[in-house]
Copies of this chain bind each other. A is one copy, B any other.
Amino acid sequence: MPYFDAASSAPLHPVARQALQASLDEGWADPARLYREGRRARLLLDAAREAAAEAVGCRPDELVFTSSGTRAVHTGIYGSLSGRRRVGRHLVVSAVEHSSVLHAGAALEADGGTVTEVPVDRTGAVSPAAYAAALRPDTALACLQSANHEVGTVQPVGEVAEACRATGVPLLVDAAQSLAWGPVEDGWSLLAASAHKWGGPAGVGLLAVRKGVRFAPQGPADERESGRSPGFENIPAIVAAAASLRAVRAEAAAEAERLRVLVDRVRVRVPELVPDVEVVGDPVRRLPHLVTFSCLYVDGETLLHELDRSGFSVSSGSSCTSSTLTPSHVLRAMGVLSEGNVRVSLPVGTASSDVDRFLAVLPGVVSSVRQKLGAPTSPPSPAPDGTDLTIDALGKRCPIPVIELAKVIGDVPLGGTVTVLADDEAARLDIPAWCEMRGQEYVGESRRERGSAYVVRRVE
């Protein structure tokens, strides 16, 4: 049963399991104690810190273990903001950061600070120039992920770090998605990551803060982990995290090459096998194991459910698969289609045959979902006479508004318009994305008392 959602959480690496089991006997005591059980625990913790620091590319005393990647991000952001409070309370982030970064930004804004979100292009990458332009004299911290968690696009960390260095702004890199594959490009000031993304156990994040970076831990004092991560250290899990990071790194180059081929196969074959699909993210500057595509006229939740029934575990940024019923902020920032969105992220060791089986199953699954929804199967018929049309899709959820639009576009003449009334958040993203895919002109959106009116002009 192939699990294709390594970007959410990777199955435990065999080395992590071994290390965890071995250190349950040696690592349960308090490493701050002076007796033998404490000294043994301390030795394990120190060795794990050295191994993790080597993989990160920092000094052991620059690295602390946290209880999760989210905690590492929060601690890094708050510690930096507080350490540089005299400079200002302005934070720069990319629009496609992980929610842990964006939520920390929202909390800063609620507390009177300001946040600039640097937009991304249609591949999901920030422009170094745009990022540099967002830096201000009162910028306390800049955040940029090493690679995007939803579409796999690698960010220009080195160039952005250079811009940050030039203006004296520390750069926090969320390396959660990429650390398994190699160290982050030079120039970062803080780095956060999460062990369960590389096959380590849950419950371990890491935060590296370069010497000389102003940093003031927030919250109640605690002596553990240099005062940067309160609470009793989870040493068996930390040992397992460090050991598995070293293990995945040892095989990273070869495995990246192998998975890159499998992902390329998905990138090429899916649009050939399934009509009306948009593969998103940068095709070249990307994580080796991750590919995302969106299928027109498909309801993401049903698609995931059907793939699950066929044995494939994938995730989605579609609105219907989120608790807030809004499409993923990443897809929104990229301006790409969100309906029928599927993220495939291959765990280390994924068999080529599993990917082939996925490619064999997907077309039938998508087509059955489309059939159920009554999606159009052929291009619009030649334009008859006619006038502008309005579709009332109020109260209808993604992908219905787009399906209704596609069904009637052939009924208006070239130059005529279709106005879609819709109150589902996904329509704002998906109607323009459909126009882009179909070569039709997206005229614009106007707010109505309920929902919005989206106007599309038929141009082909």
Across the interface, name the chain B residue whose C-beta is closest to A223.
B323
A231 CB, nearest partner CB in chain B, Å: 3
Q: Establish whether residues A67 and B71, one from each chain, have CB atoms under 8 Å apart when the complex forms.
A: yes
Q: Once bound together, how far apart are the Cα atoms of A29 and B8, in whole Å? A: 8
CB-based closest 10 A-B pairs: A68-B231, A67-B67, A203-B234, A35-B313, A103-B220, A70-B231, A202-B234, A203-B203, A104-B220, A8-B30
* Other 16 A-B pairs with CB < 8 A, given A99-B222, A202-B233: A3-B29, A3-B37, A5-B33, A9-B29, A12-B24, A12-B25, A17-B24, A24-B201, A33-B313, A33-B315, A67-B68, A68-B231, A70-B231, A103-B221, A107-B220, A202-B234
How many copies altogether?
2
Tell me the complex Cα distance, A424–B360, Å: 77
Contact assessment for A205 and B231 in the assembled complex, using a CB-CB cutoff below 8 Å: yes
Q: Once bound together, how far apart are the Cα atoms of A276 and B416, in whole Å?
A: 100
Q: How far is the CA of A459 from the CA of B313 in the complex (A)?
A: 81
B-chain residues with CB within 8 Å of residue A34 when the two chains form the complex? 301, 304-305, 308, 321
Of B5, B70, B203, B223, the contact of A35 (CB 8 Å cutoff): B5
Interface residues of A in 95-141 (CB under 8 A from B): 99-100, 103-104, 106-107
B232 touching A313, Cβ below 8 Å: no
Report whether A107 and B230 are in contact in the complex, using a CB–CB cutoff of 8 Å. Answer: no
Question: Which residues of chain B are within 8 angstroms of A30 by Cβ–Cβ distance?
Answer: 5, 8-9
A-B contact pairs, 21 of them (CB 8 A): A5-B30, A8-B29, A8-B30, A12-B24, A12-B28, A17-B24, A28-B196, A33-B313, A34-B305, A35-B312, A35-B315, A67-B71, A68-B230, A71-B231, A74-B220, A103-B221, A107-B219, A194-B232, A202-B232, A202-B234, A203-B234
Is the CB–CB distance between A100 and B12 below 8 Å?
no
Residue-wise, chain A 1-26 has the 8 Å CB interface mask toward B (1 for contact) of 10101001111100001001100110
Contact with B along A192-224 (1 / 0, CB 8 A): 001010000111010000000000000111110
* A164 contacts B by Cβ under 8 Å: no
| Complex interface: chain B residues within 8 A of A5 (CB) | 29-30, 33, 35, 37
Binding site for B on A (CB under 8 A): 1, 3, 5, 8-12, 17, 20-21, 24-25, 28-30, 33-38, 67-71, 74, 99-100, 103-104, 106-107, 194, 196, 201-203, 205, 219-223, 230-237, 301, 304-305, 307-308, 312-315, 321, 323
**CB closest chain-B residue, reference A194:** B232
A150 to nearest B CB, angstroms?
A: 14
Closest to A68 in B: B231
**Residues in B whose Cβ lies below 8 Å from that of A37:** 3, 5, 313
Shortest distance from the beta carbon of A361 to any chain B beta carbon, whole Å: 14
Q: How far in angstroms is the closest Cβ of chain B from A136?
A: 22
Q: Is the CB of A231 within 8 A of B69?
A: yes
Which residues of B sit under 8 angstroms from A28, Cβ to Cβ?
A: 9-12, 196, 201-202
Q: Is the CB of A230 within 8 A of B12?
A: no
> In the assembled complex, which residues on chain B have CB atoms less than 8 Å from the CB atom of A104?
220
Contact between B237 and A202, CB atoms less than 8 A apart: yes
- How far apart are A185's CB and chain B's nearest CB, in angstroms? 26
A305 to B234 Cα, complex, angstroms: 25
Q: Is the CB of B35 within 8 A of A304?
A: yes
> Does A100 contact B8, Cβ atoms closer than 8 Å?
no
**Contact assessment for A203 and B33 in the assembled complex, using a CB-CB cutoff below 8 Å:** no
Which of chain B's residues has its CB closest to A107's CB?
B220
A313 to B: closest C-beta gap in Å? 4
Q: Are B203 and A237 in contact (CB under 8 A)?
A: yes
CB contact between A222 and one of B103, B196, B201 (< 8 Å): that residue = B103
Assembly CA distance A304 to B36 (angstroms): 11
